[in-house]
Amino acid sequence: MTTDHIDHYFTVFTPTYNRSHVLSRVYNSLRKQTFTDFEWLIIDDGSTDATAEMVKGWQKNTKIPIRYYFQENQGKHIAWNKAADLAQGKYFLCADSDDEFVPESLESFYNCFESIPVQERDGFYGASALCKTPRGNVVGDSFPDHIFASNFNDLYFRFKIRSEKWNCGRTRIHREIRFEETFRNSYLPEGTVWFKIAKKYKVALLNLPLRIYHAELDSICHTSSFFKNYPGMLLLTCQTLNDDLITYWKYSLPLFIDYATAYSRSCFHSKLPVWQQFERLNNMFAKVLWAIMLPKGYCLYHYDKYRNAKVKSKEMK
Q: What is the DSSP letter of 71?
A: -
279-314 pLDDT, tens digit per residue, is 999 999 999 999 999 999 999 999 999 988 887 777
**Do residues 107 and 202 share a domain?**
yes
* Alpha carbon of residue 126 to chain centroid: 15
Q: 173 vs 105, 118, 126, 193, CA distance in Å? A: 21, 17, 10, 10
Question: Does 21 fall in a domain?
Answer: yes
For 98-128, letters b (16+ CB in 10 Å) and e give bbbbbebbbebbbebbeebeeeeeeebbbbb
**Do residues 266 and 148 share a domain?**
no
Question: Does 220 fall in a domain?
Answer: no
CA distance 223 to 229: 8
Question: Does 74 fall in a domain?
Answer: yes
**Do residues 155 and 236 share a domain?**
no
pTM exceeds 0.85 = yes
**Do residues 162 and 58 share a domain?**
yes
pLDDT in tens, the chain (317 residues): 666 678 999 999 999 999 999 999 999 999 999 999 999 999 999 999 999 999 999 999 999 999 999 999 999 999 999 999 999 999 999 999 999 999 999 999 999 999 999 999 999 999 999 999 999 999 999 998 888 999 999 999 999 998 999 999 999 999 999 999 988 877 899 999 999 999 999 999 999 999 998 875 444 444 346 777 899 999 999 999 999 999 999 999 999 999 999 999 999 999 999 999 999 999 999 999 999 999 999 999 999 999 888 877 777 76
> How many domains, the chain?
2
**Distance between the two ends of the chain, CA-based, in angstroms?**
47
Helix axes 245-269, 284-316, angle to 10 degrees: 40
**Do residues 97 and 236 share a domain?**
no
| Collapsed DSSP state (helix, strand, coil) of residue 206 | strand
Q: Considering 149, 180, 212, which residue would you say is the last residue of a domain?
A: 212
CATH number at residue 158: 3.90.550.10
Domain that holds residue 74: 8-212
Question: Does 82 fall in a domain?
Answer: yes
Q: Please report which residue ranges of the chain form alpha helices under DSSP H.
A: 24-31, 51-61, 76-86, 105-115, 152-153, 171-176, 191-198, 226-243, 245-269, 274-280, 284-316
Q: 204 vs 114, 151, 201, 233, 311, CA distance in Å? A: 11, 8, 10, 28, 44
